[in-house]
Every structure is written in structure tokens, then in C-alpha cells.
Amino acid sequence: MTHILKKLLRKYARIIIWNYRPEVVAITGSVGKTSTKDAIFAVLSNKGESSLSEKERWRVRRSKGNFNNEIGTPLTVIGEWSDGDLALISRDTPAGTRRIEKAMFWTRVLLRATASSIVTHKKRYPQVLVLEYGADRPGDIKYLLTLARPKIGVVTAIGEMPSHGEYYPDTEAVAREKGRLVESLPVGGWAILNHDDALVLAMRERTRARVKTFGFSEDADVRITNFENHSIDGRPEGITFKIEHEGSFVPVTVKNVFGRAQAYSIAGAFAVGIAFGLNLVEIAELVERYYIPAKRRMNVVEGIKESWIIDDSYNAAPLSVREALTTLEGLTAVRRIAVLGDMLELGKLSVEAHESIGKMAAGVVDELFTVGPRGKLIAEAAIKNGMTKAHVHVFDVAEEVLQEVQNTIQKGDIVLVKASRAIGLDRVVDEIQNLA
């Protein structure tokens, strides 16, 4: 049944793309895809909001959450679905449950796909599709390109130890797979590349499209400068930085998030906006007004006992954990606490990756909590690199750590919570946030 469904979704998606010919912006990378997608959506979907009527504004659709595979991508092409609809086919709904609701949902999907394939309503369909392209396994990007071939391709970051490493022989193989995106771009298209990631930057040699880079490097076309995690009277506020492009610059402020990763995502959105003909001032205004950072991705949350939480519990890869620890290190706090869990799908790099995080954590945090069997590697490496055993707390599952973290927190602490999604550290955030 699943195989037949995938074939139907693929067929319908290709027909709909051919019928409506939307501009497709595709984003891939090991980290930062969802935040970059959301920032791009904020810019493009509100382009000209102050001067155009509702009918004249661009119609833009994005893939929701991390629906970026052979099921999620065609669903986005076919239509707009509610969070409740998508929850039916997410990991949160176990196989074999809610069967009637699932059957009704897929019936609606196929009926809508059939209608859109037969009757073309170009004034209703999005002019722009902003899609994530996941690459969990070799061949994934190639498959997604058969559904919707983009005119603009964005590659966020690969890193030295990318996620999903268990399905690739080495990091270069991950880069080759994700690089298929830029190889597919037309001569008149744009490859938007992270200048600060060597594997991503090297992709500029693999595309016929025009190239625009972004990052902190002086040589980046869209450059991030004057970056700061901003606080007022000890209260974490957000990030501030400047974007420079061709001799011009604009200041950018985004509230309730921390870390350079968000700046990278927004810089990628600037590059896409520029490719669509928008100017820096317009893009900055749209980002500040409409960009809503995805939940549980370096979000600032008020914690119990007048503490603060950096909720980055949605997912984790070595690169994103290092960025999160770097952010934590730069913040003023009575104590810095980290709750770190397993990073999954790293394959043969897993031991080295977790030990490297433990080594880094030893120089950053005052209290370290680890969760999961791989989390023990983080704890052991932290102790080996000078952290006192009394300040390292090891747990097997998320449920066990909840009360201990709650008891440890004191006024003025900042708590970083991060792990792969399956570890369930979102429950830790829910337990220690201030709900008053």
C-alpha cells in the first residue's frame, strides 16, 4: 500500500508542477533547513505587503515542519494541510492507530490531487513553493528532483560530522548527495551557498546557475557582521546583527531566539530575497515583522525560579550542538546548565562525535545532564577533560532527568536543552518552564 501511495503522490506532484509552473525554492543541508525555509517564507510571502493589494501579493506555500521526504514533499505540492492532518502521518502517531482518520485523510489528498491535475486554477495555486529537500539516504535528492525541479537551491551547512552519517560511507558522500540540488539548477537560476562551510562552498563548481554566498566570511556575498546575542538587564532578548551586500548594509533584530545558526538562516533568506529582486531594507523589515522562528530551535523560554531556558530540543547534529554550546558560553548567567542527549543517525562517527561534544561541554557548562546511551559518552568525555564528577549527571531516559534538573535550577541560571528528537527532551523543557 505504501509503495502504491508513493507512486501516486509522485505522479500527481509532477502533473501539478507541470500544470501550474510555480517558482520552486528548495533547501537542503544537514542543519538549519527548517529555520531557513521559514525565514524565506516570511520574506517572499509578504513581499510588497505595504504597497500591494491582497490580490497582487505573491501566493507562497512552504512545506510544514520537517515534511521533506518522498511523502511530505508531494503533499506540499498537492495542497495546504492542517497541523492535525499532518500529525496523522507523523512519528507522533504510531502505525496501526487512527486508521479511519488516516484513510479519510488520504482520500482527501487523492481527490484534491485529481482535481488539481484535471482542472487548472492558476489564480489559486501558489506562485512560489518553498520546499525542504531531505537526504536521509543516497538517492533521496535525486528522487525529490523528479517531483519538483527548483530554480533556486539553498544549501545551509554540511559540517564535519553531518547527521544521517549511518547511511553514507563518509562526509564527502553526504556532500555529493546534497550537491545534486545545485547540479540540477538551470542556467538562469541561483545557487545560494553557505560560504563558511567548505563542503558547501565547493558546490559552486558543480552548478550552471548563478551563485550567491552567505555567511560571516569577509568574502561572502551576503555577509553577517556585528553579531550579538542580546540581553537587557539579564533578560535574554534575542539576536542583533547587520547584513552587508554590495557595499550596503541593514541592521536586523530578531527576538526570542539565540545563536549564530539563526543569523545563517536569515542571511540565506536575504540571499533568496535578493535573487527575487527585493532590496535589503525591504527584506529586513519583512524578517523583523513576519519571521517566526520554528519551535524548539534555540528559542528563549522563561524557566522556573527566575531562570532562562534555551529550548533547542527538536533535533541535534554535532554542528548544531557545538553552535548551541558556543551560544551558551557567550551568555551572562549565574550558572550555565546543559541537558544533552543522544545525537542519532551518525553511524561510525557516533563515538567520536559524542566525545567531542563532551570535551567542549567541559569548558562551557557548570552542570551537565546527559540522557541516553550515547549521552554517557558525552558525560565520560566531559569528566576526562576536567569536569568534576559531582557536576555531571547521567540518565538513561528523559523521564528520569526531569525532577533532577528541576531541583538543580537556581535563580539566574541559563539551561540549554538539546538532543535528537527521539530522545524526547522537549519534556524537560515543558517540566522546567515557567507557566505562571
The mean per-residue pLDDT over the stretch 31-35 comes to: 92
Contacts of 372 (CB under 8 A, 6+ apart): 341, 342, 396, 397, 419, 423
Strands (E), 187-233: 190-194, 210-215, 222-232
pLDDT for residue 50 is more than 70:
no
Q: Using CA atoms, how far apart are residues 314 and 411, in angstroms rounded to an integer?
A: 25
What is the distance of C-alpha 192 from the center of its chain? 16
Q: For the chain, how many residues are written?
A: 436
32 conformational bin, left if phi > 0, alpha if psi -120 to 50, beta if neither: left
- DSSP state at residue 315: -
- What is the average pLDDT value for the chain, to the nearest integer? 92
pLDDT for residue 220 is more than 70:
yes
Q: Residue 400: its pLDDT value, please? A: 95
Q: Using CA atoms, how far apart are residues 370 and 391, in angstroms rounded to an integer?
A: 11
Q: Residue 55: its pLDDT value, please? A: 52
> Which domains are present in the chain?
2-290 (3.40.1190.10), 299-432 (3.90.190.20)
> In Å, how far are 3, 129, 253, 393 from 116, measured between CA atoms?
22, 16, 40, 55
pLDDT band of 48, cuts 50, 70, 90:
low
Q: What's this model's pTM, rounded to 2 decimal places?
A: 0.92
pLDDT for residue 52 is more than 50:
no
pLDDT tens string 312-368: 999 999 999 999 999 999 888 999 999 999 999 898 889 999 999 999 999 999 999
What count of other Cβ atoms lies within 10 Å of the Cβ of residue 99? 10
The mean per-residue pLDDT over the stretch 188-210 comes to: 97
- Assign 410 to helix, strand or coil: coil
pLDDT band of 164, cuts 50, 70, 90:
low
The mean per-residue pLDDT over the stretch 396-400 comes to: 95
> In Å, how far are 231, 308, 317 from 433, measured between CA atoms?
19, 8, 24
pLDDT tens string 241-281: 999 999 999 999 999 888 999 999 999 999 999 999 999 99
pLDDT for residue 29 is more than 80:
yes
Grid cell locating 35: 529555520
Grid cell locating 318: 554535532
The mean per-residue pLDDT over the stretch 109-121 comes to: 90
Closest to 299 measured CA to CA, from 253, 341, 256: 256
pLDDT for residue 1 is more than 80:
no
